[in-house]
């Protein structure tokens, strides 16, 4: 599916449609307490500026049926995944779970992968990508790493910065294309056992997996850092380019 916009030359331009998995959150608007479905505005703006039409996808039953109308999927950050999905009990630090939405999002992601749609999975999205392939998660990384650098303790939202080691020749290395990339992360969970059919292609210095790719897929990339919380648009642009190509 492509959306259509007017071309300055008088014709039409078909813009790839990229689904963005919605998050549900309470907000205060004009003095009223509301619960809304939302997406980070930078995801919307970066994809639009890259020539795509972003489409917000509320995580309701049957969301996976929309895959045939999409040209790509972005799975953003969000709350902790229900550990039942990967066969564990909840750690005391695991919180804000949304089990029904988790299962809907998992079905949507699997349908997108089966359809060979380009996928960009960010932070929680990368963790979901790992779980979708049978992998497991460390539920509280500081228990493993001995530090809180991936989610710095602070009153305000603060990004952790870490040098990033990328696998030479990987898709993510080609997208970032720089000698000394860094993460900009905010997460307390991460990949434990890597799922079958995934290749780890990026790591922090402490060994935390920071990027994965679906083996044999044209473009299905997961990154653990907060892509969208910085001005860096390269991954959104890569998703847009992949979505403009015919699926095979």
The domains located in the chain, with CATH, are 2-243 (3.40.50.880)
Predicted local confidence at residue 248, as pLDDT:
46
pLDDT tens-place string over residues 82-125: 999 999 999 999 988 899 999 999 999 999 999 999 999 999 99
SS3 152: coil
Q: Is the pLDDT of residue 4 over 60?
A: no
In the chain, the N- to C-terminal Cα span, in Å, equals 15
Predicted confidence (pLDDT) per residue in 169-210, tens digit: 999 999 998 888 888 888 899 999 999 999 999 999 899 999
pLDDT digits (tens, 9 = 90+) for 134-152: 999 999 988 888 888 888 8
pLDDT of residue 122: 97
* CB proximity list for 145: less than 8 A, separation 6 or greater: 206, 207, 208
- CA-CA distances (angstroms) from residue 120 to 4, 35, 48, 96, 154? 23, 26, 15, 23, 28
What pLDDT does residue 14 have?
A: 84
Q: Is the pLDDT of residue 12 over 80?
A: no
- Separation CA 211–CA 223 (nearest Å): 4
SS3 content of the chain, % helix, strand, coil (to 5): 25, 30, 45
Whether 229 has a pLDDT exceeding 80, the answer reads yes
Q: What is the pLDDT of residue 44?
A: 98
109 compared with 14, residue with greater pLDDT: 109
């Amino acid at each position: 599916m492509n959306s259509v916009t007017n071309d300055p030359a008088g014709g039409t331009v078909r813009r790839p449609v990229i689904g963005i998995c919605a998050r549900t959150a309470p907000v205060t608007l004009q003095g009223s307490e509301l619960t809304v479905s939302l997406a980070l505005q930078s995801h919307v703006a970066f994809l639009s500026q890259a020539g795509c039409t972003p489409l917000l996808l509320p995580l309701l039953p049957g969301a996976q049926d929309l895959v045939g109308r999409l040209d790509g999927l972005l799975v953003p950050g969000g709350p902790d995944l229900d550990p039942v999905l990967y066969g564990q009990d909840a750690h005391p630090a695991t919180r804000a779970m949304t089990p029904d939405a988790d299962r809907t999002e998992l079905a949507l992601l699997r349908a997108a992968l089966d359809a060979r749609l380009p996928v960009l999975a960010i932070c929680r999205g990368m963790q979901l990508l790992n779980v979708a392939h049978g992998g497991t998660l460390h539920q509280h990384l500081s228990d493993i790493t001995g530090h809180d650098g991936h989610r710095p303790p602070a009153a305000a939202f603060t990004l952790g910065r870490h040098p990033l080691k990328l696998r030479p020749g990987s898709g993510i290395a080609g997208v970032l294309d720089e000698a000394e990339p860094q993460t900009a992360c905010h997460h307390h969970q991460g990949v434990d056992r890597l799922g079958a059919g995934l290749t780890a292609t990026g790591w922090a210095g402490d060994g935390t997996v920071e990027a994965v790719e679906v083996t044999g897929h044209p473009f299905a990339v997961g990154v653990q850092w907060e892509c969208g919380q910085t001005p860096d648009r390269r991954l959104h642009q890569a998703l847009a380019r992949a979505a403009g190509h015919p699926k095979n």
